[in-house]
Amino acid sequence: MKKKFENWIHDTWIISPGGAGLLRIVTALYILFFLIPGNGLDHYKYLSELPDQFFMPPPGPMALFQGFPPLLFFQTLLTLLVISLILLTIGYRTKMVSILSGILILLLQGFIYSVGKVNHEILTGIFPILMAFTNWGAAYSVDSCRQNSTDQTAESWPLTLLALLIGFMMFTAGVPKILGGWLDPSTQAVQGHLFNQYFLRGRDALLATRLVHLDQPLFWEFLDWATILFEIGFLAAVWKRSWFRVFLIFAVFFHYSTMLILNIPFIQNLMLYAAFLNWDLLDRVVSERIGALKFVPGESASHWVPVLIIAITAGSFVLIRYLPAGNSFFYNSDLNLQEVILVHGAMVIVLMILAVKIGRIPSRNRR
């Protein structure tokens, strides 16, 4: 049992320095363009001007503050966060800036949640802190080019720890639903929440308007049960890589349907799920394909690989982030076009993985 536990910690997920390096670049840019807490500087300006009486921190460390700090404080934190994410992208003093980015995200989230309502995005801040211990600055980074940097191995246990956190947190979402009566066939909870989101919050985009008038108890009850089975089962799936991957695929389907029906995209989680993609395979493909190119006659392009990866990823994210009318694409709903594109992107990746997996089964059988 002791041995099994240790194997689970160290051998469930294996990542190479190259794979971890690619994950670092994509993660840093994803946070930079899509997950910086708050809705821009105007959001923080609004908070800093609120009366102290409207500062209602949740129980925890934020209760040490008496009110919202001045705008300058938020501007400083945001500037530091942007700088640390840029440094994380290029892999300069990677471990330190990973932890700093995470702490800054958590601090900003703490103030945003001090208006009396907590959102559940803590893993956005925890993720870079955890990944700092994978040694994800060992490749595709300034650190790896520095002479003193000889540590070229990657640790995989932070991925197992991340899987455990995701599984546990999913479980915590499932338990209240069971206690609240979601499994009672005479009530349809998902439908009730659709009503709440649709009529109270104006979330009427995508399939919401169509489904708000769909009175099919069997369909809604199926969604109630499926949600609970998925959320509770996630914790058990943490034990085995193959189970967990299946649940990650379910998770993308789950977020996709939640976005279509309730207009809740939860794009933070996509970054977490992406950590369990096969980054080593991507690293091999990138190294072989781009590394084989010769921009200068007689010289390998391998030195340019990190630059190209950053340019391609940042370019794609800039296109999505700054789409014209991206924030006002849906008339009433607070859902924005960027979120819709990102969730669809995750869905496309999952469908591609499924297509590859399903495509392999007949060939295995033939053998």
Residues 210-269 that bind another protein (CB under 8 A): 212-215, 231
**Selected range binding another protein among 21-29, 206-214, 300-308, 317-325, rule: CB under 8 A:** 206-214
**Selected range binding another protein among 88-96, 200-208, 271-279, 280-288, rule: CB under 8 A:** 200-208
* Under rule CB under 8 A, residue 40 binds another protein: no
| Tokens describing residue 315 | 């370019």
* Under rule CB under 8 A, residue 84 binds another protein: no
What does each C-alpha distance from 245 to 241, 260, 273, 275 come to in angstroms?
6, 23, 9, 11
| Cα–Cα nearest to 159, from 279, 28, 251 | 279
Judged by DSSP in three states, 248 sits in: helix
* Under rule CB under 8 A, residue 138 binds another protein: no
For residues 211 and 350, which CB has a smaller minimum distance to another protein in the complex?
Answer: 211
User: Which residues lie below 8 Å from residue 325, measured CB to CB, with a gap of 6+?
Assistant: 337
Judged by DSSP in three states, 213 sits in: coil
For residues 109 and 313, which CB has a smaller minimum distance to another protein in the complex?
Answer: 109
Nearest-10 crossing angle of helices 241-262, 337-366: 140
Q: How many helical (H) and strand (E) elements, i.e. helices and strands, does the chain have?
A: 17, 0
- CB of residue 18 to another protein, shortest distance in Å: 20
140 neighbors 91 (Cβ within 8 angstroms): yes
91 DSSP assignment? T
Question: What is the total count of residues that contact another protein (CB under 8 A)?
Answer: 72
**Selected range binding another protein among 48-56, 298-306, 312-320, 340-348, rule: CB under 8 A:** 48-56
For residues 88 and 272, which CB has a smaller minimum distance to another protein in the complex?
Answer: 272
* Under rule CB under 8 A, residue 206 binds another protein: no
Site of tokens 């998925």: 230
* Under rule CB under 8 A, residue 153 binds another protein: no
Q: Binders of another protein among 159-198, rule CB under 8 A?
A: 160-161, 164-165, 168-170, 172-173, 175-177, 179-182, 184, 187-189, 191-193, 195-196
Q: Which of 3, 117, 366, 367 binds another protein (CB under 8 A)?
A: 117
Q: Binders of another protein among 299-338, rule CB under 8 A?
A: 334
* Under rule CB under 8 A, residue 13 binds another protein: no
Rounded Cα–Cα distance for residues 233 and 261 (Å)? 22
Judged by DSSP in three states, 333 sits in: coil
* Under rule CB under 8 A, residue 51 binds another protein: yes
- CB of residue 334 to another protein, shortest distance in Å: 5
247: burial class by Cβ within 10 Å (0-12, 13-18, 19+)?
A: buried
Rounded Cα–Cα distance for residues 346 and 256 (Å)? 9
For residues 59 and 324, which CB has a smaller minimum distance to another protein in the complex?
Answer: 59
- CB of residue 251 to another protein, shortest distance in Å: 11
